[in-house]
């Protein structure tokens, strides 16, 4: 005898497991326009801590690699601790960067529809291609995106996703390589095998990928201003307030698709 | 014939037991052992016989042999005469020709699984570049490696390929680990390695009858655990931010850190800063020359000496990451500016329409 089941309950459970991404909140302004809460607070906090970290890490990082100023007191070593402080700030901010990114990863699952991205869809790549055509001033079928367009999402996967992972692993390897026997040392010693085996190769990766972040930053800031200039939808203020002003049709229409 | 123990050899040579104990204590210190472990060394030297060693040289410069004979503690004569019996060495054996070849055959035949094979220099994958007496280097090596208890790769050439394997690597040189996989190999890189490290590794094998603890790349941890940078006598100047900008400025005279004149100490694992050279007298950084990273993999390709660079992954090319990075950012900024102009023009056109 089989246990009788209620098909309705089963369906409900399935829905819980395969939870759809949470929709962004809307505030109606008038018949045509609507305020969309695109970037929730954790996303905005992440964004600014991340931006701050990247800038500080880059300045201190370049200094560590190529010290562009010397200590002002040209005397015995114990009067100054310039490189020591640069390294200390670099390491401290590196931990901040890591924790910040971990929280953001949590928010990928917890956040609204604009906090996540799924590159494992054909439409993602098709629409990314349309977006490339759009940026090259070619004829295209690019939609209007309230969150990030697929090309932007792709750039975050590459730089903020993969780039950060490379920087974190190579960075922690370099930090802990003097103590290979410590817990942290053991946690990161395998990294060397992935990046060429010796300390110099790991370091080279760390130096080269760092510049990728600056190139990303330049393009990212430009694209954000450009979007604001063309769409007039408050892109630039949205990263402070979280809200974008969108047409009701588009804001709600996009929801219906999903 | 019963072989004498190391202690008996020492006493035969007119030393007292007191001298023997002194030698063991110095040896334990060199091997990085705790003083309380000295008795283990003494016990081993009392019981163990001298270990036969075959020393083969391939694509090398004999620099490792030269370094080896300058070992001061243990003194090389005590290593050579008391602890090991160097049966075959192109540089150090008195005999030559058929006589020395016969000695080699004797060891291979009578001491299988007992002798240590020391290798200096890399091996070419193309035999045309190194064939001695009609026998290719590869064949000589593999024959000697077959019965060896352990193989010691002395120097950067046998450990990593070294200078013969540097770009463009005409002989297609490879480290010895490329040719033998089923034998324990200890890498003792350096160009040359420190003499005391070379003798210390042998002493460890004799004392404990097994290989010293190795790191993830196969180097003995006792000597390659730290970077030069971690133990550098100029490290305080690095942390302070005091750097010599050139070899003849005031900073160089004051003994400031050599980081900006291209010191590769931060990426180089070796014990120069602790053991030092020539009996502990000095080492390159102490005497004012930046580390060239000679004990690291592919050191000849890791950029010019006296310059700090980054290697493009999976290549033998190095670049200055800051210069290249700044240029790349500049190009990006120019591209962004051009794109912005086109965007503005297009938008203007739309308004006119």
Does position A94 have pLDDT exceeding 90, yes or no?
yes
Here the ipTM equals 0.87
> Which of A70-79, A224-233, B83-92 reaches the highest mean pLDDT?
A224-233
Check residue A77 and give its pLDDT. 87
Check residue A222 and give its pLDDT. 95
Q: Which of A100, A89, A110 is nearest to A44 (CA)?
A: A100
CB-based contact B90:B133 (threshold 8 Å): no
Quick check: A219 contacting B, CB < 8 Å? yes
Q: By residue range, what is the domain housing residue B17? A: 6-224
Check residue A45 and give its pLDDT. 96
Strands A25-28, B123-124: pairing is unpaired
Low-confidence stretches of chain B (pLDDT < 70) are: 1-2, 74, 76-77, 79-81, 353
Q: With contacts defined as CB-CB under 8 Å, which chain B residues touch A210? A: 321, 325
* B191 labeled binding residue: yes
B340 found inside a domain: no
CATH code of the domain in which B206 resides: 3.40.50.700
Which carries the bigger pLDDT value, residue A182 or residue A250? A182
Quick check: A211 contacting B, CB < 8 Å? yes
* B294 labeled binding residue: yes
* B272 labeled binding residue: yes
Check residue A253 and give its pLDDT. 63
Check residue B288 and give its pLDDT. 93
Check residue A200 and give its pLDDT. 92
Domain ranges of chain A: 22-257
Quick check: B231 contacting A, CB < 8 Å? no
Residue of B nearest to A211 (CA): B325
Least confident of A25-29, A109-113, B241-245, B313-317: B313-317
Residue of B nearest to A219 (CA): B336
Check residue B336 and give its pLDDT. 95
CA distance B333 to chain A (A): 7
Record: contact B324-A201, CB cut-off 8 A: no
B296 found inside a domain: no
CA distance A16 to chain B (A): 45
Quick check: A89 contacting B, CB < 8 Å? no
Does position A78 have pLDDT exceeding 90, yes or no?
no
CB-based contact A150:A135 (threshold 8 Å): no
Which of A81, A86, A192 is the closest to B216 by Cβ?
A: A192
Check residue B248 and give its pLDDT. 92
Record: contact B346-A137, CB cut-off 8 A: yes
Quick check: B225 contacting A, CB < 8 Å? yes
CB-based contact B117:B87 (threshold 8 Å): no
Record: contact B242-A77, CB cut-off 8 A: yes
> Domains in chain B: how many in total?
1
Check residue B51 and give its pLDDT. 86
3-state helix, strand, coil in chain B (%, to 5): 45, 15, 40
Rounded to the nearest 5°, which phi and psi values hold at B305? -65, 155
Q: With contacts defined as CB-CB under 8 Å, which chain B residues touch A193? A: 216
Does position A31 have pLDDT exceeding 60, yes or no?
yes
Check residue B21 and give its pLDDT. 87
CB-based contact B123:B141 (threshold 8 Å): yes
> Does residue A80 sit in helix, strand or coil?
coil
Check residue A141 and give its pLDDT. 87
B136 found inside a domain: yes
Quick check: B264 contacting A, CB < 8 Å? yes
Mean pLDDT, range A128-140, rounded to an integer = 91
CA distance B329 to chain A (A): 5
Which carries the bigger pLDDT value, residue B217 or residue A50? A50
B333 found inside a domain: no
Does position A7 have pLDDT exceeding 60, yes or no?
no
Check residue A14 and give its pLDDT. 42
Check residue A18 and give its pLDDT. 40
B196 found inside a domain: yes
Check residue A20 and give its pLDDT. 59
* B229 labeled binding residue: yes
The CATH class of A22-257 is mainly alpha
Q: Which of B146, B150, B162 is nearest to B58 (CA)?
A: B162
B73 found inside a domain: yes
């Amino acid at each position: 005898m089989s246990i009788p089941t209620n098909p309705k309950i089963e369906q409900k459970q399935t829905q819980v497991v395969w939870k759809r991404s949470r929709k962004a909140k809307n505030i109606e302004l008038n018949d045509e326009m609507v305020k969309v809460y695109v970037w929730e607070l954790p996303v905005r906090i992440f964004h600014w801590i991340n931006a701050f970290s990247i800038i500080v890490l880059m300045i201190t990082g370049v200094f560590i690699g190529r010290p562009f100023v010397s200590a002002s007191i040209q005397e015995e070593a114990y009067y100054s601790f310039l490189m020591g402080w640069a390294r200390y700030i670099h390491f401290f901010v590196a931990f901040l960067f890591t924790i910040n990114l971990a929280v953001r990863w949590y928010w990928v699952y917890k956040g609204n529809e604009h906090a996540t991205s799924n590159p494992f869809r054909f439409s993602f790549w098709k629409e990314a291609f349309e977006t490339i055509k759009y940026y090259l001033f070619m004829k295209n079928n690019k939609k209007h995106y309230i969150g990030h367009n697929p090309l932007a999402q792709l750039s975050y996967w590459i730089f903020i996703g993969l780039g950060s992972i490379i920087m974190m692993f190579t960075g922690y390897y370099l930090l802990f390589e003097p103590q290979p026997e410590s817990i942290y040392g053991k946690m990161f010693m395998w990294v060397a095998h992935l990046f060429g085996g010796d300390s110099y190769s790991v370091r080279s990766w760390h130096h080269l990928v760092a510049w990728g972040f600056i190139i990303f930053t330049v393009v990212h800031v430009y694209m954000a201003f450009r979007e604001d200039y063309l769409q007039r939808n408050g892109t630039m203020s949205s990263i402070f307030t979280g809200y974008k002003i969108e047409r009701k049709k588009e804001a709600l229409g996009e929801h219906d698709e999903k | 014939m019963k072989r004498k123990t190391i202690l008996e050899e020492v006493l035969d040579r007119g030393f007292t037991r007191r001298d023997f104990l002194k030698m063991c204590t110095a040896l334990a210190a060199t091997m990085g052992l705790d003083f309380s472990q000295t008795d283990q060394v003494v016990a081993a030297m009392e019981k163990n016989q001298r270990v036969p060693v075959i020393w083969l040289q391939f694509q090398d410069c004999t620099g490792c042999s030269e370094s080896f004979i300058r070992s001061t503690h243990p003194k090389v004569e005590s290593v050579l005469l008391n602890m090991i019996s160097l049966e075959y060495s192109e540089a150090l054996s008195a005999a030559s020709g058929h006589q020395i070849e016969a000695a080699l055959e004797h060891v291979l035949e009578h001491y299988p699984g007992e002798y240590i094979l020391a290798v200096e220099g890399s091996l070419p994958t193309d035999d045309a570049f190194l064939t001695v007496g009609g026998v290719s280097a590869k064949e000589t090596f593999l024959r000697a490696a077959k019965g060896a208890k352990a193989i010691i790769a002395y120097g950067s050439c046998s450990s990593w390929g070294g200078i013969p394997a540097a770009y463009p690597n005409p002989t297609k040189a490879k480290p010895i680990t490329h040719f033998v996989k089923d034998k324990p190999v200890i890498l003792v890189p350096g160009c040359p390695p420190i003499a005391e490290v070379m003798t210390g590794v042998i002493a460890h094998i004799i004392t404990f009858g097994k290989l010293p603890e190795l790191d993830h790349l196969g180097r003995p941890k006792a000597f390659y655990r730290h970077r030069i940078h971690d133990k550098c006598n100029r490290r305080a100047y690095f942390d302070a931010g005091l750097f010599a900008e050139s070899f003849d400025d005031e900073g160089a005279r004051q003994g400031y850190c050599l980081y900006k004149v291209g010191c590769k100490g931060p990426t180089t694992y070796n014990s120069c800063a602790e053991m030092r050279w020539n009996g502990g007298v000095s080492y390159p950084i102490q005497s004012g020359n930046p580390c060239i990273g000679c004990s690291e993999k592919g050191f000849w390709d890791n950029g010019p000496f006296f310059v700090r660079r980054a290697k493009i992954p999976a290549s033998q090319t190095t670049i200055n990451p800051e210069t290249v990075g700044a240029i790349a950012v500049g190009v990006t900024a120019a591209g962004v500016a051009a794109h912005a102009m086109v965007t503005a023009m297009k938008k203007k056109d739309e308004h006119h329409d």
